[in-house]
Structure 1
Amino acid sequence: MLRIAICDDDSATVQANRKIAEDCLKQCGSAGEIATYTNSDNLLYDITEDGFFFDLILLDIEMPGSTGMELAGKIRPFLPNVKIIFITSHVEYAIDAFELSIFRYVPKNDIARRLSGAICDAIRLIELEEGKYYTIQTNSRLEKIPYKEILFLSRDGKNTSITTAGGAAKVRKSLQQVYEELAAEEFIFIDRGCIVNMIHVMQVKDGSVILKNGAALPISRSHLQEVKAQINAYWGVHI
């Protein structure tokens, strides 16, 4: 079951956005629970002190107390994979989407048209991440690695090394063969010998992909522009 939080200091807006989120859940055929907040500090407390978990959070950027941007930065260490949709009435508040790994920006003056699409895209992505596994099978073992846990894959001689937060696993297949078996748009080549999972990308900086765990993976010069374009297209960042 998906857990969604909506935070805006205006109660009428919270209820309107809640109705949109409920309609999106029905449209996607997904079960979900929606929690609403009119105080950003209350949401932060529930996550950091009471251990509340959310898959998706809708945040108003311009709020008293902790702003949406400040809140996102404080939440991310506790919910590293949460999808965040920023809602803003001022374009000048827009920041580099890679910095806080923001899923989507929705302008308030176009919320009726844009918010439902953003929420539905997030729901589909969350469910996609939850349901896919890469299977390593040998004569002695069978290991299933969830796509969402894969940080990157790299060539290791004739093998492919699959790196997750918990360590690395090797499969006796070429990197290209593993890429074709994954068959998911989340995985992109950043170099002939390295594939990164865009789910874990925090930013592209100084010719490298920076992952949420702090790892920096160099992008080959020939791939740089394509990598930037693919990441932008994948996250669908629009102002």
Structure 2
Amino acid sequence: MMMQLVVVEDEYIQLEEYRILCEQYLQGEQYKITCYIDAEGLQEHMKLGKPIDILIMDIRLSNANGIELAKQVKRIYPHTAVIFISAYLEYAPFVYEVDHVYFIYKKNTLNRFPKALAKAIKHYHNKERNILPIHWKKEVILLSIPDIIYIEREGRKTNIIMCDEEQTVYQKIDDIMNQLPEDLFIRIHHSFIINFDYIRSFSRDKIIMKNGKELPVSRSYKKTAKEKIYHLMDESMV
């Protein structure tokens, strides 16, 4: 999965400087950098459902407050790693209104930028395996993978059953399975994928989940499902 960086800065020279710094310190990573010189560009980016893994945000923009913009981003993309940059230290106390990984005082950009970006990249990799992006209409919805109980294919739809909600998408169940961690999810049927952590009990032909749902184990998946369940049980007891 490609890391998506978004940089927002209303001074073009500094915007270009941040882009170059990102490229210098992202060697070995798969990434895409998108730059905006105003709030409207960022807002359109969000409206289109484009991902934001790392946001580098100037606080004092000519037409907007960067802290308020970051709040909007975090409401839609709660796992985004935010780096604030400002030439005005008086803004420093207010950055704590938003979950962020670093605040850079502009005079110290060259010294602090590598540390800030390293922290944001670490945050990204820690969260990467815990997020499932799904497509619904023109939006990209980010689901918490640990909260998924099971996934069911029903006709042309795929239902994702979670602890506190249910999402329906038109993505194929095979495509979703390919995005899930192999050490957690088990295919038990052509139409069902389960999260090992939510198994209450199992037998030869069925599995009962912790939410009470009884799911069938098909003949074609019986052997591999059983082997994987016992393998994960052994690992969980180490």
| TM-score normalised by L of structure 1 | 0.54
Select 2:92's aligned residue among 91, 94, 100: 94
User: CA-atom RMSD, angstroms?
Assistant: 2.8
What secondary structure, in the 3-state scheme, does the structure 2 residue paired with 1:110 have? helix
Q: 1:130 to 1:41 in 2, by over 3 A?
A: same
| Corresponding residue for residue 108 of structure 2 | 110
| Corresponding residue for residue 128 of structure 2 | 130
Q: Pairwise mapping of residues 200-215 of structure 1 onto structure 2 (< 5 A)? A: none
What secondary structure, in the 3-state scheme, does the structure 2 residue paired with 1:105 have? strand
One-letter identity of the residue aligned with 2:4: R
User: How many residues are paired up?
Assistant: 146
One-letter identity of the residue aligned with 1:57: L
* Superposition deviation, residue 82 in structure 1: 0.8
Separation (CA, whole Å) in 1 of partners of 2:164 and 2:75: 14
What secondary structure, in the 3-state scheme, does the structure 2 residue paired with 1:94 have? helix
* Superposition deviation, residue 128 in structure 1: 2.2
One-letter identity of the residue aligned with 2:13: A
Separation (CA, whole Å) in 1 of partners of 2:61 and 2:95: 19
Q: Is the 8 A contact 2:84 2:95 kept in 1?
A: no
List runs of 5+ in structure 2 lacking aligned partners.
132-143, 149-161, 167-194, 201-235
Separation (CA, whole Å) in 1 of partners of 2:89 and 2:164: 35
Q: 1:55 to 1:33 in 2, by over 3 A?
A: same
What secondary structure, in the 3-state scheme, does the structure 1 residue paired with 2:75 have? coil
* Superposition deviation, residue 171 in structure 1: 8.0
* Superposition deviation, residue 124 in structure 1: 2.0
List runs of 5+ in structure 1 lacking aligned partners.
134-144, 151-162, 173-180, 182-239
| Corresponding residue for residue 40 of structure 1 | 39
Q: 1:131 to 1:61 in 2, by over 3 A?
A: same
| TM-score normalised by L of structure 2 | 0.54
RCO greater where, 1 or 2, for CA within 8 Å and sep 6 or more? 1
* Superposition deviation, residue 23 in structure 1: 1.3
| Corresponding residue for residue 82 of structure 1 | 80
Offset from partner CA, 1:177-208 (integer Å, 9 cap, x none): xxxx7xxxxxxxxxxxxxxxxxxxxxxxxxxx
Separation (CA, whole Å) in 2 of partners of 1:9 and 1:164: 42
Offset from partner CA, 1:44-70 (integer Å, 9 cap, x none): 1221x2112110010000111121111
What secondary structure, in the 3-state scheme, does the structure 2 residue paired with 1:121 have? helix
What secondary structure, in the 3-state scheme, does the structure 2 residue paired with 1:102 have? coil
Q: Which has the larger radius of gyration?
A: 2
Q: 1:68 to 1:164 in 2, by over 3 A?
A: farther
